[in-house]
Amino acid sequence: MRMAGWVLAAVVATAGVAQAQDQQTLADIRQELTVLHVEIQRLKREFSTTGSPAPNLSGSSVLERVDAIEAELQRLTRQTEQLNQRVQNIVSDGTNRIGDLEFRLCELEANCEISGEPTSTLGGEGTDVGTAVITPATPSQTDQGELAVGERADFDAASQALADGDYQTAADLFAQFDTNYPGSPLAPEVNLKRGHALEGLGDTREAARAFLASFTGDSEGAFAPEALFELGAALGRLGQTDQACITLNEVGVRFPSAPAFADATQEMSALGCS
């Protein structure tokens, strides 16, 4: 339900004063997102080992051992094909659900325009599950070698504007950066700083959206604790106390050793979270 709480928080931060009918719609969306999250977690478990492999390849002769190896390869091939089909089914179903939710969320926003472009495939466009190489997850970090020409310079210019207190210029430059460099490894930090710039302009609602984008862009990265805290604090300033408390509490659950945990605890106390 935590994931559903964050997504609902984003909707609250962007939708303004909801009507009674919208409240029911949001509840439906939260329920569907919870189901989708469970399916994704099940999919992740498909790529987790259950123990050391111990195929029976014994035999009294070389021929028997070769036969045993061949039988084991056939078994693994069948199992791989079955798992591949399951993953493809989950990806297809998940993509369809996300597309439906995007449409319904757009309907709740006054100025949202549905472009008609297809929803990005869950897990990435063109993913070939059968040939994908699964590697252990590592802490997120910015690789300078992955930056495009001018990317660092544009980021530094926007950051300097923020440091100088020129919030409008900073917000514009960070927004332009996000457009010019989609998928940049700097994106989580860019969205976090864009949120601070928008806060400086007094646009708390758009700031909350930027903080959410920063967190969801890399929920385990170096900027995730601060982004999650800032999202919760922004929701509190928007008067969405319940969702603010849920989000701030999640900072301690996910990042108990991060400096943002102390800030979240203090903010929860100020909001009177139970």
Per-domain boundaries in the chain: 2-48+60-108, 147-271
Position with higher pLDDT, 189 vs 140: 189
Round to whole Å and give the CA distance between 196 and 159. 11
At 219 the pLDDT is 86
pLDDT at 33 over 50: yes
Round to whole Å and give the CA distance between 263 and 260. 5
pLDDT at 264 over 80: yes
At 262 the pLDDT is 93
CB within 8 A of 147, min separation 6: which ones? 184, 185, 186
Contact 195, 210 (CB under 8 A): yes
Round to whole Å and give the CA distance between 112 and 107. 7
Classified by CATH at the fold level, domain 147-271 comes out as 1.25.40
- For residue 213 the two structure tokens come to 């984008």
pTM (two decimals): 0.51
Position with higher pLDDT, 30 vs 235: 235
CA 103 to mean position of chain CA atoms: 19
- In this structure, which amino acid lies at residue 12? V
**Among 3-12, 28-37, 187-196, whose mean pLDDT is lowest?**
3-12
Q: How many C-beta atoms lie closer than 10 Å to residue 202's C-beta?
A: 9
17 phi and psi, to 5 degrees?
Answer: -80, 120
Contact 234, 204 (CB under 8 A): yes
Round to whole Å and give the CA distance between 197 and 137. 32
Distances (CA, A) of 36 to 24, 48, 138, 262: 19, 19, 25, 32
Round to whole Å and give the CA distance between 97 and 21. 21
Model pLDDT for residues 189-246, shown as the tens digit of each residue: 999 999 999 999 999 999 999 999 899 888 889 999 999 999 999 999 998 888 889 9
- In this structure, which amino acid lies at residue 179? T
Round to whole Å and give the CA distance between 40 and 90. 8
At 84 the pLDDT is 75
At 78 the pLDDT is 80
Model pLDDT for residues 147-194, shown as the tens digit of each residue: 777 889 999 999 999 999 999 999 999 999 988 888 889 999 999 999
Angle subtended by helix axes 62-108 and 2-15, to nearest 10: 30
Average pLDDT, the chain: 74
